[in-house]
Structure 1
């Protein structure tokens, strides 16, 4: 199976058993490998502003954990940027590999959930992300559509300090975060209803400046225009997971 993963504000940590993982030019290939059938791999995504291609080959085990934008930082000792500067990379932390081994040894789903929850609670740390969280809420207020300068002023920060904090905890700039968040907002709000509204109306309700700006941004983030995008993508979990199967 292959699919296209579109830009998202969330972060994913995936646990695999018995695979070889290859990365190249926004392409992630995960294929079964009998020579390492009992070995585990742990992969973490960073922020990406272009779609990337995921290719699954063969049969293997995977457990994926999806974290909200700032959530993953609470389960890592250091800031996210230190672990996930690229669109996808191995997470070289021994305790994550240990829990992956435990989970794959356990066949009972309920017990797996208990093991994973216990692990996460054990590794839960306190992080001061108050300023970044406040900035995110302002950026995600698409009705007011604050500029980055206004967001920085509301948070009593300089633009440079705001950018530095976003890079640390979210691995992207505030402007990149806004583009991705606005793109996702347009999908959730109107984009994938049974009868798709006119592009102009979607653009207006998602607070894009005009239809041409909406189309231009969509092409940057998806590689195709909005009309083709809405026709080709699939949705799961009430539009919260958007992808294109190939």
Structure 2
């Protein structure tokens, strides 16, 4: 049985980090397969004693005592990801808000992130990182683990001027007004070419790709967390899917199934912050 805990960041990091979640399992025979879905956040996962492999559509994590720690940066994909877990599991995931991971790395995000999840070694160059992880995973209490990790995170924090990109994210996610990419670039006093290049460097995907993922997440949250029972047609309209056929088409691409099938299959975990579809 997976033990999932979510922890909120301390006040100094709330601008940058949405939350942390910890997953632990002590059973050597444990096996689990589930789907995770495209997200606008940037997720960094730290595994203890694990072997990790990922392709464009599937990730495999298994217990391997030969590996001390592995850090993985989730790819910015537009497809559901099948995740296979085998054996003991002990991991911490940091969910950075869109754009904000750039304040903790010394290269553009596009240099270290791709469409698939892969090893993230940017922090490995700092000896304090390994010291931090050893101390962190020795603790059993989730809050103490995160407190230890956050001491390292604060040491890596280097505030950047991201005002224009912050505004771009807000405009891209304004589904009521639905600004065009040209309009957003003009509002930021940037050429289309410069805007697309800068956005991809710092976010990891193009503005069009980001808005597609953000629209999917907006519609999903509208359905799952609304105080009233909403029809799928209303949800699609609220997220500016211009017709029902396009709404269904995009869900089949991003979630792997039509909206009605998707919402009947998923589960909310970790204080409703995680959305998975379990297969086993």
Is TM more than 0.5 here?
Answer: yes
Between 1:172-181 and 1:84-93, the stretch displaced more is 84-93
- Mind listing any 5+ residue stretches in structure 1 that lack a counterpart? none
Distance 1:4 1:112 in 2: 27
Q: CA distance change for structure 1 residues 111 and 63 in 2, over 3 Å: closer, same or farther?
A: same
Instruction: State whether residues 187 and 239 of structure 1, in contact with CA within 8 Å, keep that contact through their aligned partners in structure 2.
Output: no
Superposition map of 1:109-120 within 5 A: 109-120=142-153
Distance 1:60 1:78 in 2: 30
Q: Residue by residue, what CA displacement relative to the aligned partner does 1:175-202 show, whole Å, maximum 9, x if unpaired?
A: 0000000110001112566985332222
Distance 2:57 2:155 in 1: 34
Q: CA distance change for structure 1 residues 134 and 71 in 2, over 3 Å: closer, same or farther?
A: same
- Mind listing any 5+ residue stretches in structure 2 that lack a counterpart? 1-31
3-state SS of the aligned residue for 2:110?
A: helix
3-state SS of the aligned residue for 1:35?
A: coil
Q: CA distance change for structure 1 residues 3 and 144 in 2, over 3 Å: closer, same or farther?
A: same
Distance 1:239 1:112 in 2: 21
Corresponding residue for 1:241? Answer: 274
Distance 1:242 1:10 in 2: 13
What is the CA distance between 1:97 and its match in structure 2?
4.2
What is the CA distance between 1:19 and its match in structure 2?
0.9
What is the CA distance between 1:111 and its match in structure 2?
3.1
Q: CA distance change for structure 1 residues 116 and 49 in 2, over 3 Å: closer, same or farther?
A: same
Choose the corresponding residue for 2:64, options 33, 36, 49: 33
3-state SS of the aligned residue for 1:9?
A: coil
Size of the alignment, in residue pairs?
244
Corresponding residue for 2:223? Answer: 190
Q: Residue by residue, what CA displacement relative to the aligned partner does 1:85-135 show, whole Å, maximum 9, x if unpaired?
A: 232010113134443233113334443222112111111012122211111
What is the CA distance between 1:241 and its match in structure 2?
2.4
Superposition map of 1:83-122 within 5 A: 83-92=112-121, 93-94=123-124, 95=126, 96-122=129-155
Q: Residue by residue, what CA displacement relative to the aligned partner does 1:224-245 show, whole Å, maximum 9, x if unpaired?
A: 1111111111123565422211
Residues 1:7 and 2:38 aligned together: yes
Distance 1:108 1:121 in 2: 20
Q: Residue by residue, what CA displacement relative to the aligned partner does 1:47-103 show, whole Å, maximum 9, x if unpaired?
A: 111111111100031111111111211111111111112320101131344432331
3-state SS of the aligned residue for 1:4?
A: strand
Note the aligned Cα RMSD (angstroms). Answer: 1.9
Distance 1:78 1:27 in 2: 27
Corresponding residue for 1:206? Answer: 239
Corresponding residue for 2:90? Answer: 61
Instruction: State whether residues 55 and 117 of structure 2, in contact with CA within 8 Å, keep that contact through their aligned partners in structure 1.
Output: no
Distance 2:255 2:185 in 1: 28
TM-score, structure 1 length as denominator? 0.92
